[in-house]
Structure 1
Amino acid sequence: MTSRIEEPSRDTLIEPVDQRIGRHFDVLLEARGYRADTAQRAAIAHLGQWLEAFLAGRKSWLRRTAAGVYLWGGVGRGKSFVMDAFFAAVPLKDKRRVHFHGFLAELQVRMRAHAGQPDPLALAARELAGEARLLCFDEFHVHDIGDAVLLGRLLKVMVEEGTGVVCTSNYHPDGLCPNPLYRERFKPAIALIEKRFDVLELDAGEDYRQRASILEDWGRHCWPISNFVEGEFERLLGLTSEALRDVPLMVNQHPMHLLAQEGQCAWLAFDELCRRPHSSADFLWLSQQFRHLAVSAVPCLGEEPIDVQQRFVNLVDIAYDSGLRLQLGSEASLAELCRDTPHMDFSRTHSRLQQLSQVRPAMNGHSVIR
């Protein structure tokens, strides 16, 4: 595979790749007013060194160059920030940075285009490998047999075709697929990661998302919703008297009901989104059609069945990754909402929900944002 290298500027004409990665990391840190910890600096240095060896095709009789880097650690440790800095500085035109749900949806579309041919998954994976010399995969995780089959074989083809893969995940490779019902099917993929990838832990022990200086405001959590004056929840979303009410839609060939819609704003009930069998593809469709999404009557999630929890986790992931502004309405505080939730991915969901502005009703009828 021949890669297209970006034309370097005069200042970076002879700059080694690993130094370029490190310099860009420092520039991004300064621009955002962050200070990196030792684990983050070690990760960016390792990524730079790996990329330089990978692009040069460097080999030794002791060990071939790793096929990729698997960067894992707890929520909020800066994995996505490190990935952002690394990806932006990579001097390749044929590079891609993808998120879990959107990428799997794309892979399935590509597979359907090869329907009727032998092994559509392998054909789709080779097609992707031919388009990208480097694939950066954020929030890598595996929770069902379909994902296990797709991701396991995809990684194998990418490595065979010579595409570099950099993943971030909350889990060590051995913890990616804990469900015993289909863990055996994913064991070869775990072995591939542990054998062919550099596995790095990024864990400085602090959830950086909770630092007041870097909290992102990507939406609101309104509670207790029954104490808000009539119409206040809709006003916060941006709905007016012109909004359409009780809107039936067909999404991916099955029905979805909106409580209200106006322009780029949509309001749905939790029951509609998470208690009905909607897929990640449905949530992706919502993220592509709207920029503001409200979900009302959100219950205490620890009391919900695991399939309902999984849909909520997927919804929050997709909304967060796509830049969708989210507004939740519930009776419970965030602590009550998330208490005793057994879902293995909920630490990431909880961290993201903590970045929502907390909106409480006030005596004068106007909500108070904290």
Structure 2
Amino acid sequence: MTSDPVAPAEALRRHFDRELAARGFRADPAQQRAIAQLADWLGAQLAPKRRWRRPAAGVYLWGGVGRGKSFVMDCLFAAAPVANKRRVHVHGFLQELQQRLNAYSGQPEPLARVATDLAGEARLLCFDEFHVHDIGDAILLGRLLECLLREGVALVFTSNFAPARLCPNPLYHVRFRPFIALLQRHCQLLELDAGEDYRQRTRHDWGRFIQAPAERADSLLCRALQIVAGEGGELELNRRSFALRGRSGQGIWLDFSALFEVPSSTADYLWLCEHLACVAVSNVPPLHRLSLDVQQRVINFIDVAYDSGVVLLLASESSLEQVCADIGTSDFSRTRSRLQQLSSSVENCVAC
């Protein structure tokens, strides 16, 4: 690491300006403030330890969907002159964490051991799209963060939620408050306040949304996947069996009910998106008709699919606006923004 605190700060500012210029954008005032404060924090983090006042151990950057939080984090990550650094998404990281804990099964303080391993691998750890709803995940992540802070790992978070709104379920929220206090005590809190959703100005062609009668949609999905209708079978995954409508070399087709109206998990979605190039889901209903559990599974799936690079094909007799209407789940604004980036032009769909 460099010993000049100005160098990384200036490198971050310059990198941010170059990346914005390459996209033809100009930073709005909230983004300018965020990048300036992140640059100052990074410079202080990398300064010699003889400073009389230590900088915050981490930064928690939060705000509405499409405000450029991930873009700002990407700039920080790229510009930080740190050899050992990692950028993770919460869903994949939770799966990794469980695997690491299993390796220390039966040994004392397995979570502390995992934290020591992580600290040895990354002095800067960036969590993109940080959010927790399951109380088991919330408690596990909270205790891990305590251990990572003790190990001296610099932590950066982006989230749609202010720390106080993490783990929002009132049944569980009180149990997560100690870890919210930990974030508030050790992290510099930066808000990218309300402004333009930049996702709506950028082209991110990650799939298609097909609005058509069921028979017509099925025909279009068969053509996109280059399969014959009815050649599906079963997919055995994590001790569950999923009924398939169709299957090709690198793609599968499921009905919405077969994927989401069963107790599927984020681990299932991670496997699908890591091992397949294309996932098609037909008969998508208006989501407000469904239980909160099903809505949350859809949110988790879209998070995983969007970040994985998989091609997503969704088919519904309803419009996308009708599918997304009247959803009260707090996470759904992010999901809606990502679904709105799906192209509606199925005729140009690239076969999987």
Is the shorter-chain TM-score for this pair beyond 0.5, marking a shared fold?
yes
For 2:249, the equivalent position in structure 1 comes to 263
3-state SS of 1:157 partner: helix
CA distance in structure 2 between the partners assigned to 1:204 and 1:217 by the alignment: 25
1:76 Cα deviation after fit: 0.5
Q: Does 1:231 align with 2:216?
A: no
3-state SS of 2:344 partner: strand
Deviations 1:133-172 (A, max 9, x none): 0001000011011111111111111111000000000011
Q: 1:254 to 1:37 in 2, by over 3 A?
A: same
CA distance in structure 2 between the partners assigned to 1:15 and 1:122 by the alignment: 34
3-state SS of 1:118 partner: coil
Q: Does 1:292 align with 2:283?
A: no
Correspondent of 1:42 among 16, 29, 33: 33
Structure 1 residues 114-129: aligned runs within 5 Å: 114-129=104-119
Q: Which amino acid aligns with 2:241?
A: P
Q: Indicate conservation of the 8 Å contact 2:6/2:43, yes or no.
A: no
For 2:182, the equivalent position in structure 1 comes to 192
Q: 1:82 to 1:199 in 2, by over 3 A?
A: same
Q: Does 1:66 align with 2:56?
A: yes
1:233 Cα deviation after fit: 2.1
Structure 1 residues 161-176: aligned runs within 5 Å: 161-176=151-166
Deviations 1:241-273 (A, max 9, x none): 5x8822322212222222211111111111111
Q: Select between 292-301 and 31-40 the one with higher mean Cα deviation.
A: 31-40
CA distance in structure 1 between the partners assigned to 2:5 and 2:54 by the alignment: 25
Q: Select between 248-257 and 97-106 the one with higher mean Cα deviation.
A: 248-257
Q: 1:254 to 1:230 in 2, by over 3 A?
A: closer
3-state SS of 1:228 partner: helix
For 1:351, the equivalent position in structure 2 comes to 337
Return 5+ residue gaps in structure 1 as ranges.
361-365
CA distance in structure 1 between the partners assigned to 2:147 and 2:213 by the alignment: 49
Q: Which amino acid aligns with 1:320?
A: Y
Structure 1 residues 1-370: aligned runs within 5 Å: 5=1, 16-58=7-49, 63-211=53-201, 214-226=202-214, 228=216, 231-236=219-224, 238-241=225-228, 245-359=231-345
CA distance in structure 1 between the partners assigned to 2:217 and 2:93 by the alignment: 41
Q: Indicate conservation of the 8 Å contact 1:141/1:176, yes or no.
A: yes
Q: Select between 64-73 and 112-121 the one with higher mean Cα deviation.
A: 112-121
Aligned residues: 350
Return 5+ residue gaps in structure 2 as ranges.
none
3-state SS of 2:314 partner: strand
Normalising by the residue count of structure 2, what TM-score does the alignment of the two structures yield?
0.94
CA distance in structure 2 between the partners assigned to 1:263 and 1:41 by the alignment: 46
CA distance in structure 2 between the partners assigned to 1:131 and 1:278 by the alignment: 32
CA distance in structure 1 between the partners assigned to 2:184 and 2:218 by the alignment: 56
Q: 1:293 to 1:114 in 2, by over 3 A?
A: same
3-state SS of 2:232 partner: strand
CA distance in structure 2 between the partners assigned to 1:42 and 1:254 by the alignment: 48
Q: Which amino acid aligns with 1:215?
A: R
Q: 1:306 to 1:16 in 2, by over 3 A?
A: same
3-state SS of 1:248 partner: strand
3-state SS of 2:155 partner: strand
Extract structure 1 runs of 4+ deviating beyond 4 A: 57-61, 366-369
Q: Indicate conservation of the 8 Å contact 1:228/1:367, yes or no.
A: no
CA distance in structure 1 between the partners assigned to 2:83 and 2:279 by the alignment: 34
1:130 Cα deviation after fit: 1.8
Q: Which amino acid aligns with 1:80?
A: S
Deviations 1:31-52 (A, max 9, x none): 2222211111211121111111
Q: Indicate conservation of the 8 Å contact 2:211/2:217, yes or no.
A: no
Q: Which amino acid aligns with 1:23?
A: R
Give the fraction of aligned pairs with identical amino acids, expressed as a percent: 54
Q: Indicate conservation of the 8 Å contact 2:5/2:47, yes or no.
A: no
Deviations 1:181-208 (A, max 9, x none): 2222211111011111000000242111
Q: Indicate conservation of the 8 Å contact 1:316/1:349, yes or no.
A: yes
3-state SS of 1:188 partner: helix
3-state SS of 2:245 partner: strand
Q: Which amino acid aligns with 2:31?
A: Q
CA distance in structure 2 between the partners assigned to 1:368 and 1:314 by the alignment: 24
CA distance in structure 2 between the partners assigned to 1:14 and 1:281 by the alignment: 41
Q: 1:197 to 1:103 in 2, by over 3 A?
A: same
For 1:363, the equivalent position in structure 2 comes to none
Normalising by the residue count of structure 1, what TM-score does the alignment of the two structures yield?
0.89
